Structure formats: C-alpha cells, structure tokens
Structure 1
Amino acid sequence: MRTTATLAEAYQAVVCDLDGVVRRGTRAVAHAVDALTALGVPVVYATNNASLTPADVAAQLVGLGLAVSADDVVTSSQAGAAFLGERLAPGSVVLAVGGRGVADALREVHLTVAESASDGELVAVLQGYGPLVTATDLAEAAYAVQAGALWVATNADRTLPTHRGVAPGNGALVEAVSFATGTRPVAVGKPAPALYDLSMARLGCGREDTLAIGDRLDTDILGAMAAGVDSLWVLTGVDDLRSFARAPDRPLPTYASVDLRALSLPPQVAVKDGSAWSCNGVAVTVDPVTGTVVITGRSGPASDVVERDSVLACAFRALAEARDGSGSSPAGLDALDRAAAALTSELA
C-alpha cells in the first residue's frame, strides 16, 4: 500500500486509456479533463482503438481541452506495426485493414502498405478498427490469411463505447475473418503487454513507478496485470461491478474509482477486517453462498466521491474474494450477481 497525499503522487507516470475513460465518442467523460490537467506527472494515452494516427488522436484530445501532442499518444496500430517490423524485412508488403492509423503505423516502421490481398508479394495482414471498414475489406483479409499471410490484430475488443451507446469493436470484425478462415490472429493490443511496454518506453519510466488507468477489465486491467504495473479501474466506461463479479481470468485492479477524481484524492485501499473489507470507516461483507451484502459505516447517500470510492474499494475486494471462493457454479455466479447488483445500487 502506498501512503501519499494523493493517488497521482504515488507514481512517476501514468498510462491512460481513452475510450470510456477520457471520452465516450466525441464527448469528454465527466471530470476526466480536469483530473488529467491537474496531474503533476507525465501521461501517455494508450488506446486499443487503431483507427486514427497519434496526431489525429492528439487533435481530438486538444479539442476536449487537454494539452496533448502526438508524442503523448500510443496506439495499438503502432504496437502491431512494431511487432511486424521486428519480424519482417524492410519494405515487406502488408495488407492494412482499418482506419488510416493502421497504414501510417506500418509506414513508420518501413513496411509497404497493400490495400488488396493480390497486391505484390503480400506476407502479412494488420487488422485494426475503422468506422469505414467494409465487408470487402474483411474479405481481402480472409483471402490473405488463407494464402498464408501472417495475421496480426491490433486488438480484440469486441465492443467500443460511444456517446450513443456500445458499438461493435475490432474484436467483432476479427471474429468475422476468423470464422471465414478457421484461424486466429496474434493480438498485440491490451491485454497483451506490448502497448504498456511501448508506453513505458515513451515515458522512460519503470513498471513499479507507472500507474495504468482503464475502464475495461478484459483489456486495460488484465493488460496492466500482464505488464506488471499497478492499475486504477474507473466505472465510467464498459465494465461495472456486475461484470467484475462474472469476469473470466479474474482481473484484479490495484485501485477502483467511480471516476478520475480519484487521482487527486488519497489512495483508497481496502484491508481485510475479520469477515469484512474496510476503508475509511466503511466496511463491506459479501456472503458468497447467498449473495447477501452488509455495508456499515456509511454516513448517508453516496454523494461524496471519497465515500463512494471507499465503498467501491471495499466492494470490489469483497466481490473478488467471494468470486475466488465460490468457483464457477451457476449458483455461485448467481449469488455473486445479486451481491454485485446490490453494491451497484449503493454507488448509484
């Protein structure tokens, strides 16, 4: 446990996810811009969204009110291109599927970009998300893979949070190609550690001094665990306590918060106290058999961000303990779901 005046002060650098953390579509997430602007440590914005170039992403973030340059952005397209650049000779022909961020990343590592499976001596496919990806693009990827091309996916996120709701992500498009070819790609984005490794290299910071921030358990949090860095899970995007309770691979963030205001607050860390988990006088107990939740120490409605984060710090630890102890039986999962639903209502 790190005891500092604020969570941000416990680290020398931050690797921050974008979609669901900083923005939803074209809109800023509440409190995100102010919280990130106030940070006294460098930030790299690491995104699994491969559709845009770092310069494009930086321009969007500037439009939201953040002071960001292209050097502050690392994309999964860059991670995928770096993976291929280490394995292919300069000038090798690679099919780019996705937004222009995919093609630009390939050119950065001196690879030749193809738009069709029949272009030149094609040796690989880099598939990333793009809002204008068509069935024809997916077919070209399938043809190339069937012909023996090395297939790399920038990421496998099946969904993408937007200001209108949740849309299909690159993982959904990858599944279409996989169904057609009967094969699976190498996925380099989160939860693989490559994107975090690139970000830390950009920051010049070690694992123990880096904090990763994300909203998705299956990418951001599992990726941070794979990379060996501490993580802050925020509830402003895709996942909530109910998805946490049922999440495969048992993701476990270091911290959790309702939003990014946690960065300017003391670290909220729950400790085991008998059968309960406690933080700042709040205690939470979850019965893994019945799903019953007991919360004590609350001073009133969950309007104060410190108290809400204290409840959340206890809640996710109690759910994790119950999750680890209940196994994956239907009855156990149902009990966990009831407990998570009750805890979610406390944070509403």
Structure 2
Amino acid sequence: MQLMKEKNRTIGFLIDLDGTLYRGREPIPHAAEFIRFLQDAALPYLLVTNNSSRSPEQVAEHLQELGIEVPAAAVYTSSQAAAQYMQEQRQGNRVHMIGEAGLQNALEAAGFLLDAQTPDYVVQGIDRSFTYAKLTEAARHLHKGAAYVLTNPDRLLPSDGGLMPGAGTLAAAITAATGVQPVIIGKPSPIIMAYAIERLGLPAADVWVIGDNAATDIRGGLEAGCRTALVLTGVATSANVQDQLAAAGVTPDLIAADLRELLTRIMPRDEADSASRR
C-alpha cells in the first residue's frame, strides 16, 4: 500500500493527540519523527483532539515542549468544533459553560456570551474543578429548556499517572440528573469528523484517521468513510486491544504498536527506512 500517491490522489491524515502523540507531559516514542515525515513530504494533516481544555495555541506550545513542532493552525479541538456547531444552529449566543480555558477561548472567539443567567446552551467539556454546585446549576438550566452540547464523550483519558475521568464522565452525571441527552461534538460524532475533513480539503476516502481509542478515533473514522489505524500507545494497548475492539464493535484497517510501525505499514519501505533514521 503506497502512502505518497494512490492513482494521483493525495493522502491526508487526521491524527489524535492524547495517547497518540503524548501521554500527559511525556511524548510518545516516534511521534516527532512521524510528524516530521508528514511535513517533509508535504502531506496534509490535522491534529484532531477531543480534549477541550486547551486552545490550539496552547496545544502547539505543549507539543513544542515535547519536541514535536506543529503550528497552531494544524490543531483542531472539540471546543472549536462545538463553537462552530452552535454558530451554525443560530439558536442564540448565551452560554453557560462547564469547562476550562480551551473551551472558554473558543466560545469567546466565536462571539458567545458566557455566564448567561438564562442561557440558550449549556456547553460542557472536561472540567477538573467540577463540583456539586456546578452540577446543580447545569441541571437547573437544562430543566428550564437550555440545549445541552457536550464537547466530547470520552469517559477516560490517558495521563502521566494512568487513566483519568474525562468529559463523558461528567456528562453522565448531568444526564442522570436531568434526563437530557447532549448533542455530542467530539469523536466519534460525525460533527467534528465532517468539520475536520472539510478543513483538510480531501475526500474522506483519501484520509487516514490515526488514534489510540477504538471507541472514538476508530469508530469516528470508519463512520466518516475514512481509513483507520489504531496505535497501541494510549487507551488501547497490546494487552487490551482485543477487548477494546470487541467493546467498540469496530475493526480498523491497521493496528500498529506505535507510529514508527505505522509508517512502515502504509508507505514504501525505502521511505520508511529513511524516516526511521531521522
């Protein structure tokens, strides 16, 4: 299978972050060389993350600290996708937010008014200062008719010390309190996948979706009509991959131990050898 061109078609990449390029403050081996290869080969790529806590600029800065050089314009977050979705709905601009700086920045940049007393939307992402009071306030707004938008459904996230609860865990509490199901923006939702593919500027069939989570990255890619590659460096590991795939009910096009192995699987051998020596 040749990477560079297939019947004169350019191949592009939608690449996950947490668990694929890094775990917390630690880079995942071979992530930097993989990104350098794409840049050197002028292959289009977009880093698509369900993590709503950081802005694209903060993500790019974090990656730079880990030795992975990417511009902020190459990052697309679930916060940006949530703001884009709500703009397109044209159902008001008053927002009650549960989340962190990345979500706040995206909403403000899109012109939404935060901390509204009578919000049109309750928008929720990961919030590591989530409290009972925040749960209560969100529930009251939803009971009064506000629409519920969830940046991403991830219940667990990889971090330095192991897995931690994600935005989906908080959403489960809010839904239990209200009976209101949110509009889900992040992977595997077709909402963020459609936006990301549009930004990449390629047909879905010419795009590889690469990630460590079968239930979000792989399912999202398959349902969007993309090709998919699961790397065993985050939520999925060599020890649990079969259980992860069975639970998600998906079969990726490729499974690779890491991004270096992935390169050797989807590109000509001579180019793979050159990339691995960088």
User: Is 1:50 equivalent to 2:49 in the alignment?
Assistant: no
Q: Percent identity?
A: 36
The amino acid that maps onto 2:156 is T
User: Is 1:244 equivalent to 2:244 in the alignment?
Assistant: yes
Query: What RMSD, in angstroms, separates the aligned Cα atoms of the two structures?
Result: 2.1
Distance 2:230 2:263 in 1: 15
Counterpart of 1:60 in structure 2 is 62
The amino acid that maps onto 1:31 is H
Aligned to 1:166, what secondary structure does the other structure show? strand
Q: Could you tell me how far 1:246 is from its partner in structure 2? A: 2.8
Q: Could you tell me how far 1:113 is from its partner in structure 2? A: 1.4
List aligned pairs for 1:2-41, cutoff 5 A.
3-4=1-2, 7=3, 12-39=11-38, 40=41, 41=43
Distance 1:251 1:264 in 2: 22
Q: Could you tell me how far 1:8 is from its partner in structure 2? A: 6.2
Which one of the candidate residues 215, 218, 221 is aligned to 1:221? 218
TM-superposition CA deviations, 1:226-283 (whole Å, max 9, x none): 11110111011112323235314x2111111000013431439xxxxxxxxxxxxxxx
Counterpart of 1:264 in structure 2 is 263
Which one of the candidate residues 161, 164, 167 is aligned to 1:164? 161
Distance 1:236 1:181 in 2: 36
Contact 1:234–1:257 (CA<8 Å) still a contact in 2? yes
TM-superposition CA deviations, 1:269-317 (whole Å, max 9, x none): xxxxxxxxxxxxxxxxxxxxxxxxxxxxxxxxxxxxx9xxxxxxxxxxx
Name which structure has the greater RCO, CA cutoff 8 Å, separation 6+: 2
The amino acid that maps onto 1:243 is D
Distance 2:157 2:262 in 1: 24
Counterpart of 1:284 in structure 2 is none
Counterpart of 2:90 in structure 1 is 88
The amino acid that maps onto 2:190 is P
Counterpart of 1:188 in structure 2 is 185
Larger radius of gyration: 1
Q: Could you tell me how far 1:103 is from its partner in structure 2? A: 1.7
Distance 1:67 1:140 in 2: 40
Q: Could you tell me how far 1:42 is from its partner in structure 2? A: 2.5
The amino acid that maps onto 1:50 is S
Q: Call closer, same or farther: CA 1:245–1:207 in 2, change over 3 Å.
A: closer
Distance 1:188 1:24 in 2: 23
Unaligned runs of 5+ in 2: 268-272, 274-278
Q: Call closer, same or farther: CA 1:262–1:204 in 2, change over 3 Å.
A: same
The amino acid that maps onto 2:246 is R
List aligned pairs for 1:70-109, cutoff 5 A.
70-89=72-91, 92-109=93-110
Give the total of aligned pairs: 260
Contact 1:50–1:130 (CA<8 Å) still a contact in 2? no
Aligned to 1:212, what secondary structure does the other structure show? strand
TM-superposition CA deviations, 1:156-212 (whole Å, max 9, x none): 110010111000111111011111112211111111122222222222222122111
Q: Could you tell me how far 1:89 is from its partner in structure 2? A: 5.0
Distance 1:141 1:264 in 2: 45
Q: Call closer, same or farther: CA 1:245–1:227 in 2, change over 3 Å.
A: closer
What's the TM-score, normalizing by structure 1?
A: 0.70
Distance 1:8 1:183 in 2: 46
TM-superposition CA deviations, 1:128-168 (whole Å, max 9, x none): 01323333222221121111100010111100101110001
Distance 1:33 1:131 in 2: 28
List aligned pairs for 1:318-337, cutoff 5 A.
none
User: Is 1:137 equivalent to 2:134 in the alignment?
Assistant: yes
